[in-house]
Amino acid sequence: MKKLFPILIISILFFAFAPEVKATSASLYLSPSAGDYTVGNTFSIEVKVNSGGVAINAADATLIFETNDLEVVKISKTDSVFSFWVEEPTYSNTVGTIDFAGGKPSPGYTGSVGTIVNITFKVKTAGMANITFAAGSILADDGRGTNILTHMGTGVYKLTAKDAESDDRFGVSVAISGNVAIVGAYGKGFSQLLEVVLLIIFTFVTAFVLTLLVT
């Protein structure tokens, strides 16, 4: 909220006698809010605003992410609903934070899918990654700088290793007894399972031959 103090002062000067904004449900959210991405690749998400049916002229936020899983490559303001910035979009791959504070002169912005910034991440490790809002505000274009933010969304993303295919179930369970191994791979067709069986047989035959050569 304090990031937007200059915008608040200007808004009060221009709209000192504007009618009070009725209670609304404005929100900040991420799009997409979920996805499956591969280690080493990049993906982009948009920070969006839903004004809740009323005009707004400013918003700010701090997002946090886990630096072991992700790193920010760039932040773009292209196609943003805001035209000026009290705080330029910045990020830290050391701390794991993203900050911005932007605005738009009256009549401001009204809508449910307004893009504020576009963030490109690079996937570093496999696992689940969360991107969340640590703080934020949305100011109504009412001359009072009324903060009408009621909800901040989250993003949860599956990060997959390079050698794993989407929906790959091979190796979901493994049982070994002596020279016999059973590898679970539900959801696979007969031809794919046959390939797995042949691979296992080849592996054990190779190991057996190497053992004979060594001894």
State whether 146 and 210 are in the same domain: no
Same domain, 186 and 152: no
State how far the Cα of 1 lies from the Cα of 137, in Å rounded to an integer.
6
Domains of the chain: total:
2
Q: Flag whether 203 is in a domain.
A: yes
Whether residue 113 is contained in a domain is answered as yes
Are 188 and 148 within one domain? no
Tokens of 24: 């609304």
Same domain as 205, residue 117: no
- What pLDDT score does 162 carry? 86
Does the model's pTM come out above 0.75? no
Per-residue pLDDT of the chain (215 residues; tens, 9 = 90+): 555 545 444 444 444 444 555 546 899 999 999 999 999 999 999 999 999 999 999 999 999 999 999 999 999 999 999 999 999 999 999 999 999 999 999 999 999 999 999 999 999 999 999 999 999 999 999 999 999 999 999 999 999 998 755 555 555 566 666 656 666 655 555 556 566 555 666 566 666 655 666 66
Is residue 7 domain-shared with residue 79, that is, in the same domain? yes
| Digit-coded pLDDT (tens) for 57-69 | 999 999 999 999 9
Q: Supply the pLDDT for residue 187.
A: 57
Same domain, 154 and 187: no
Say what the pLDDT of residue 29 is. Answer: 98
Look at residues 116, 123, 153, 129 and name the one whose alpha carbon lies nearest to residue 33. 153
Q: Is the peptide bond before 105 cis (omega within 30 degrees of 0)?
A: no
Considering the domain architecture, whether residues 28 and 132 belong to the same structural domain is answered as yes
Burial of 73 (0-12, 13-18, 19+ CB in 10 A): middle
Q: Do 13 and 40 have their domain in common?
A: yes
CATH number at residue 126: 2.60.40.680
Residues 143, 188, single domain; the answer is no
> Can you say whether the dihedral through the CA atoms of 143, 2, 59, 150 is positive or negative?
negative
213's tokens? 């050569």
pLDDT at 14: 43
Three-state DSSP class for residue 74: strand
Nearest to 99 by CA among 117, 81, 122, 113: 117
206 contact partners, CB below 8 Å, separation of at least 6: none
Say if 62 falls within a structural domain.
yes
Q: Per the domain annotation, does 169 fall within a domain?
A: no
User: Are both 102 and 143 inside the same structural domain?
Assistant: yes
Range(s) of the domain holding residue 74: 2-160
Rounded Cα distance between 15 and 136, Å, is 23
Cβ neighbours, 10 Å, residue 85 = 16
Question: What pLDDT does residue 155 have?
Answer: 98
- Residue 143, in any domain of the structure: yes
Strand order in the sheet with 56-65: 34-38, 154-160, 127-140, 56-65, 97-103, 84-92
Q: Are both 210 and 153 inside the same structural domain?
A: no
